Structure 1
Amino acid sequence: MKVLCFSDLHRDKDAALRLVEMSKGADVVIGAGDFANQHQGLADTLEILRAIELPSFLVPGNGETVDELADASREWKSAVVLHGNGTTATTSTGSVELWGVGGGIPVTPFGAWSYDFDEESGAEMLAGCPSGGILVVHSPPINTVDHDSSGRIRGSQSIRDCVERCSPKLVVCGHIHSDWGKQVSVGDSLVVNAGPSGVIVDVDV
């Protein structure tokens, strides 16, 4: 199964147009949050992305809430918003279970506008994650693709614990801009900080 992964568009219409083109070579699309800028302009990119007719799975970033994302993506008929829940993607190449949790985990230093959760809340929302599927999160697992521009680790312990417990085939995240495009492995799990340029990953199903 070819999975197009992206994150952190932040209202970048040109990037959204490129992703629509890239999707022609994929089976499934995953958007790991931050379509908006501080709750502004959420429709800017979603109006473009809704041209994608493939099964598409989205989580909110820390720049939009789950309710805002669900409302804004209502016209994107093939898109499903996940946050503390899961679903199954079925394509001609097979089926895979997905689980999604959005927002900033742990709480960011950005202030009241940021859609954030503490590690305890993160662990609760990740509790139902199945084994061997695809985990979609906005924040990276700690000590993976989560190094900020100063080199400080900014990821989530609860997400890392989930990855180690459930061994998803693929973890798609974003949030930490300085590690966009980077990939690491945690056990048998590939962790991808997708970024707005997007990347297509082959997943065995």
Structure 2
Amino acid sequence: MASDLRKTRFVCVSDTHNACPADGAFKLPKGDVLIHAGDLTRQGTFAELRKTFDWIEQADYEVKIVVAGNHDITLDPTFYNEHGLRFHNQNPQEPQACIDLIKKYSSITYLNHESTHVYLKKEDGPRTTFKVFGSPYSPATGLWAFGYPSEHASLLWDQIHLDTDIVITHTPPKYHCDESRHNGSLGCRTLRETLWRVRPSLAICGHVHEGRGAERIMWDLDCLNVKFKESATGYWTDPGLGLGNRKQSHLDLSAKSPAPLNSTESWINAFDVTNLDGPTETPGNRLPIQKSTHSLAWTPATSRPGTSISGESSEGNQFLVLDKASLITAQTQEDRLDAMSSKTVMPEHSASQSRASFEETQSRALEKISQVPEARRRLPLYASLKNGNHSATRGQGGCPLSGRCDLEALAGRGGRKETCVINAAIMASSWPYKFQDNKKYNKPIIVDIDLPVW
């Protein structure tokens, strides 16, 4: 019930690479939870880690959650023992000492490819709860820590529990907030597929500095022919962008916003995409934001897709909705623009009737699941993969009663329809940083969502 939910504010950062508020690189806004999605340092030395964890420890948030990234090389002992001297041949580091250092910061929750339940307990806070998964891994490119080959991706990401509310990964998912200026889409395809199955409220990442921004994904849970399908994606216009702009980078997805999370009808119909003029580029941000002759405002829908909508801009919450079918295979920004140019009208959303029918079958589907032996239901999906027993219906939508869909991911979980992907990279410049003057910084991204009160 709505009365059991309460707005909770997340402040998201990533890829600070030794930068901190005390240096003037960025300012931390107020919030309930601080999340750092990795690349805390440049090369993971003990001194770098101590500086970073010191400012996080001092930050005024009830909960602070941190994962490492590929630059935090000492936090990956296996990698460092093999390659550490390539980075620190003059001053070798002790990985265990670095790991022990982190444990001393009692107010910081450090997640190393693991989950935890969070309970906000302050009397003057929201007193909400959520389950979070955090991981430092990213696809192996070059000689950096926490890398994995593509053939191991399924075993890795299937360890995210399906009841996870917030997913924090250093890598972005493929085609979402992952586009590099020179190297195309760098995200993980398997992680994107896993997000279809889990459908968390937020997927917070970093790694690709130019991908900084936010995208809202509406998942297609009905399609029987295309696996891991997305219905549409909304691209965020950051109100805090621009030199001298004092506005915060704020994204409100709570129930009091005009378009709350998981209420897709309120935002998919509120935009017209008949006039696309191409991407808007800003320093350090290659998010594919599209300009329109209409004001893309968070206002209640007054017309259907394909008709003009105008109105006052609602600060902080602007998205453009695009049909994902023609974009999912786009490799570059140019490919995306070509796909967009052929889409003059947003297709009518016709899944509402079948989705209503889907919701009506949930109790029957759960009853069917209860007939499966408990030991088998508890078997982790990655163990099934390892044993070669993986179902051919993985990632397939439809009605759970039919037996032709991804039963585990869909049954009883029809309320999870949408995920907001947030790339919170603070460092706008790309590696390597040859000169201090070349460093440019983004603002932290503030996200408001509703979570259950415990």
Short-chain TM bin: 0.7 to 0.9
- Asked if 1:3 is matched to 2:10, the reply is yes
1:59 to partner: Cα distance = 1.0
Q: Which digits, 9 at most, give the CA deviation of each residue in 1:9-31, with x for residues without a partner?
A: 10013377777742xx2111111
Aligned residues: 199
* More divergent stretch after superposition (119-128 vs 81-90): 119-128
Q: Which moved more, 1:195-204 or 1:13-22?
A: 13-22
Contact 2:20 2:26 in 1 (8 A): no
Over 3 Å counting, the alpha-carbon distance change for 1:119 and 1:131 in structure 2 is: farther
- Per-residue CA shift, 1:113-132, capped at 9, x if unaligned? 43312234443333232335
Q: Normalization by structure 1: what TM-score?
A: 0.86
In structure 1, what is the equivalent of residue 58 of structure 2?
A: 51
Secondary structure of 2:180's counterpart equals coil
CA shift, 1:193, in A, is 0.3
Partner of 1:141: 173
With over 3 angstroms needed to count, the CA separation of the structure-2 counterparts of 1:16 and 1:142, relative to structure 1, is: farther
Q: Distance in 1 between matches of 2:171 and 2:68?
A: 10
CA distance in 1, matches of 2:22, 2:137: 21
The equivalences for 1:105-184 within 5 A come to: 106-108=139-141, 110-111=142-143, 113-129=144-160, 130-131=162-163, 133-150=165-182, 152-180=184-212, 182-184=213-215
| CA distance in structure 1 between the aligned counterparts of 2:22 and 2:214, rounded to whole angstroms | 20
Whether the 8 Å contact between 1:84 and 1:126 is mirrored in structure 2 is: no
**Post-superposition CA distance 1:67-88 (Å, at most 9, x none):** 6574343332211111221011
Range moving further from structure 2, 30-39 or 139-148 = 30-39
CA distance in 2, matches of 1:72, 1:120: 33
Q: Comparing 42-51 with 162-171, which one deviates more in the overlay?
A: 42-51
User: Per the alignment, do residues 39 and 18 of structure 1 end up closer, same or farther by CA in structure 2, a change over 3 Å counting?
Assistant: closer
Compare the two structures and name the one with the higher strand fraction.
1
Q: Structure 2: which amino acid aligns with 1:84?
A: H
In structure 1, the residue matched to 2:37 is 32
Matched, 1:198 2:205: no
Q: Which runs of 5+ in 1 are unaligned?
A: none
Q: Give 2:134's aligned residue.
A: 100
Deviations 1:161-187 (A, max 9, x none): 11111000001000001112x111222
Q: Judging changes above 3 Å, is the alpha-carbon distance between structure 1 residues 7 and 151 closer, same or farther for their aligned structure 2 residues?
A: same
Greater CA deviation, 168-177 or 12-21?
12-21
> Is the partner of 2:58 in helix, strand or coil?
coil
Matched residue SS, 2:185: coil
Q: Which amino acid aligns with 2:148?
A: F
Measure, in 1, the Cα distance between the counterparts of 2:28 and 2:209.
23
**Amino acid in the other structure paired with 2:421:** V
- The answer to whether the 8 Å contact 2:19/2:25 transfers is no
Q: What residue identity is the alignment partner of 1:203?
A: I
- Cα gap change, 1:122 to 1:79, in 2 (>3 Å): farther
Larger radius of gyration: 2
Tell me the amino acid that sits aligned with residue 425 of structure 2: G
Output the amino acid matched with 2:135.
Answer: V
> Could you say what the CA RMSD is over the residues aligned between the two structures, in angstroms?
2.3
Deviates more, 1:66-75 or 1:169-178: 66-75
Preserved contact between residue 120 and residue 158 of structure 1 (Cα < 8 Å):
no
Show structure 2 runs of 5+ residues with no match.
1-7, 78-94, 219-417, 427-442
